[in-house]
Structure 1
């Protein structure tokens, strides 16, 4: 019997693998998700989704009733052991350029359940639970994967064009590829305690800064709170999981008798990255590619960015809209971004968790001083410690971001709410969809608008003319009304008449009238209209995995 043939195999159905499968499903790509476990996970591990991660859920159509139930973080307070405030971020006063809360919390089992429900929308995406990869072989045309059904004790072979390894920190795919993890593992451990609460109160996010307690205490859902604390070298790793110790961690923040302990997990944290993220037709994503320390809450967020980056590229390559060389830009773009997040997380961890009691008190005094100084205070209050990172090179006009501070290429484009004809007020991404898009500034010359329309048609994208807020209620076909003025501000800041956005909302090019023809020519050489949105339906895959 010839092996089943699909477009993509995703190994692992955790948040990163399930997100990749949802995004591939939206492009119509036949996808099989191979998951070793027979039942869903019940342990909460990751808890944080930044505004970019939430925007990726939006792109996957997982909002509202289909969403994971994100719990917004409205205020974050840094405190010492006596619960005295050192610094505070009021997120209700911080600008939200991506159209979502700067930070949101979640219950991971519910988040994974939402992702898995999302897969049910697609007849061409199939989940094989209780299956594991026994072996795989690559050739010039694809990957042949031998998969074992661990329940029925039988094996099948699946043929795919590409394989995405989303199988976590102990990735079997990475091991079979012979790829090493480079970096360090911390001497400290972290203790994660999840508790069930009878109501949605209290609702706070504290960052204890020591000297005795260092970590995070936060509400993650209407009925759940999380207590994460650093376990210092030399502490008894069995004792810290005992009810007595767990109670001592919870008590400063909430009455332990009012909650039910759901889970107590002890884990080491790492700063490690695979030496390569791609071997032939196999790509590593998420923890299979990089292990992130927890201090900035960027581990899962980074994995979701991996999924958002690779899936649109696979869709365009498999759909005949781009050459296979586009896939080379995945690691080029994502590795530096993940490495910088890892460096920042390490720095924050070193600042918060290192040193003895004297150093911790001195550090806390310094944080408090910085918070009240006129220059550094706004840096903390406006949460500028998490920088706006960008792609320095990759699939960008000219291949690299310009050296000017005003360079737009490689930056993440903002998402304000806009007005779009009869659809009314909507987030910008919902108007654009999953395509390349070309936007022109308010009042752009007619020749620029005509060129933008032709450019969008040549690449199978969408052209949108941005109109000022004064046109609200009178927008024409093909216009989006800039209700908040944010798009107009962006064009003015970058001195641009036109911007080209990739499907993942990173800027491919921004130019004034003089550079439009050059951008058009470069883009037309690289991108074509999609000739197919996958081959929908994979009945045999469903039968083989049953």
Structure 2
């Protein structure tokens, strides 16, 4: 992993280096920075891109954004995406997908303007004195030796062309861990020599992003894909103020033809009867989608995340969601390892948890793409008939985490809710009201119907305090004390009743570690958590008698 540099500057010490400043890197930088670790973020682009690449996140991801930045700022132009349609070539409905829902404190699906998501996380991370951003620089060396990694970076030529104040030196950083979140063409992955498994699909699509010039009503407030054998196309809102039109390029067509804006505008007029009096183009670019998954996500103290680890088709809108999940998963596990509380073996659960999750999403996206892009007329007719008759097999269920840091039941299996997101909802405590995480904070959390302190011995209390795990009691005014969280939406109480939980234990990424039907079972759940975390921290004697509620 050696790469020579012009000057050999002394290495500066940091805990973590993050290569790449997209949604994945920003999530990890903000969360690790908030945990108190020193972070250097190295990004080639001198300024944020400023235009959308992704246009959708789900509610689970919005909750993670809430942990990494000012979510109201991030979603200030966002809108709930409540329906997604599959149409045939005549515009008749094949599938009407109901995307409504709100279990995470946010709509289940959200149309967003990406720069505002990134800005919210960037502003949070940048405000922390222990997080440094090195923009306009690129990594040109990576040496792992003796349990640390030395990163070399120099000014990226394209970012400093013509600049009179271009830095000349190479900067070096000695870090404990590196997160390579540097995109599909990842320098980190290539330097490590990690190959990718490719699904062998290479689709080209024109993205024609536009701002509304005038009010077009609710025509483009839903998502829609036209399964036209002549040429599939689609549209999806980009928050409240913008819309994305996508057009599939056919084999043999020149990319340059479609990146000429006049051709995109001509298609837009023909297909949707829209002109420059209706929309103003802000971006016109052809993307090549090549779904692939890296064969390894970790080599020593260097880890891959986001597009560096996996790329996928856009049909589920889960590319950035998956990267943000990666960043969050890594952040809380690295925090425990860097704090000396958990053995580095905990980091092995990063790939074992995230790879199966991403694989299901990637393969489901591939399947939906194959359905939408079928061009054999006989197969198209059969497909349409299966949809209309209701005989089309449903897609796989959305995945959950089934290995790693999840509670194993006595029979060796998992509870159906384990490894899936827990609810948030609006709560009230005293004179404070807001989303649950705003009142309780992040990290590990025990949610119970009754005060669990009576069933927790000194050892359990000490472990929970060292872990930073709190507990809260949720209920209503008639069944709980004055300090309880009042469940204004009923989300928590419904969740616990549905699954038969007297209490449950939530991970920092808001996934369910496990739940218990009786408070008497809570100590066993806590012991299992300690084991699954590869816990190494000694129990502080003073903490054994302190309440964590």
TM-score using structure 1 length: 0.86
Query: In the alignment, which of 47, 56, 71 is matched to residue 64 of structure 2?
Result: 56
**Alpha-carbon deviations, 1:247-272, whole Å to 9, x = none?**
24323335223222222211221121
Partner of 1:113: 119
Deviation at 1:410, TM superposition (A): 2.0
Whole-angstrom CA distance in 2 between matches of 1:401 and 1:231: 52
**Alpha-carbon deviations, 1:99-153, whole Å to 9, x = none?**
2112112233343333322323212111111111111111233211111123323
Partner of 2:160: none
Distance 1:329 1:343, change over 3 A: same
CA contact (8 A) 2:71 2:120 kept: no
Aligned ranges 1:69-468 → 2 under 5 Å: 69-91=77-99, 94-150=100-156, 151-199=166-214, 201-202=216-217, 203-205=220-222, 206-251=224-269, 252-258=271-277, 259-370=279-390, 385=395, 387-398=397-408, 402-403=412-413, 406-424=415-433, 426-440=434-448, 442=449, 447-448=454-455, 456-457=464-465, 459-468=467-476
Deviation at 1:68, TM superposition (A): 6.1
TM-score using structure 2 length: 0.85
* 2:387 aligned counterpart, secondary structure: helix
Distance 1:39 1:175, change over 3 A: same
Matched, 1:476 2:482: yes
Whole-angstrom CA distance in 2 between matches of 1:437 and 1:200: 45
Whole-angstrom CA distance in 1 between matches of 2:135 and 2:485: 44
Deviation at 1:458, TM superposition (A): 5.5
CA contact (8 A) 1:197 1:224 kept: yes
Greater mean deviation of Cα atoms: 22-31 or 75-84: 75-84
Deviation at 1:431, TM superposition (A): 2.6
Whole-angstrom CA distance in 2 between matches of 1:112 and 1:456: 33
**Alpha-carbon deviations, 1:392-446, whole Å to 9, x = none?**
1101234999536x4443222122222222213x222223322211122x35787
Deviation at 1:76, TM superposition (A): 2.5
**Alpha-carbon deviations, 1:272-309, whole Å to 9, x = none?**
11110001111100000001111111111110110110
Partner of 2:542: none
Distance 1:178 1:458, change over 3 A: closer
Whole-angstrom CA distance in 1 between matches of 2:324 and 2:423: 18
CA contact (8 A) 2:87 2:226 kept: yes
Whole-angstrom CA distance in 2 between matches of 1:149 and 1:67: 33
Whole-angstrom CA distance in 2 between matches of 1:454 and 1:482: 29
CA contact (8 A) 2:261 2:284 kept: no
Greater mean deviation of Cα atoms: 107-116 or 285-294: 107-116
What RMSD over aligned residues (CA atoms) do the two structures have, in Å?
A: 2.9
Deviation at 1:27, TM superposition (A): 1.1
CA contact (8 A) 2:421 2:512 kept: yes
CA contact (8 A) 2:455 2:523 kept: no
Partner of 2:515: 510
CA contact (8 A) 1:137 1:145 kept: yes
Task: Work out which structure has the larger RCO, using CA pairs closer than 8 Å and 6 or more positions apart in sequence.
Answer: 1
**Alpha-carbon deviations, 1:216-261, whole Å to 9, x = none?**
2122133321111222223343333334531243233352232222
Whole-angstrom CA distance in 2 between matches of 1:325 and 1:199: 56
CA contact (8 A) 2:69 2:121 kept: no
Distance 1:119 1:386, change over 3 A: farther
Aligned residues: 513
Structure 1, gaps ≥5 residues long:
532-546
Distance 1:529 1:387, change over 3 A: farther
Partner of 1:537: none
Distance 1:460 1:223, change over 3 A: closer
Deviation at 1:87, TM superposition (A): 3.2
Whole-angstrom CA distance in 2 between matches of 1:36 and 1:243: 28
Matched, 1:497 2:515: no
CA contact (8 A) 2:202 2:290 kept: no
Distance 1:184 1:358, change over 3 A: same
Structure 2, gaps ≥5 residues long:
1-8, 157-165, 540-549
CA contact (8 A) 1:393 1:400 kept: no
CA contact (8 A) 1:401 1:407 kept: no
CA contact (8 A) 1:459 1:528 kept: no
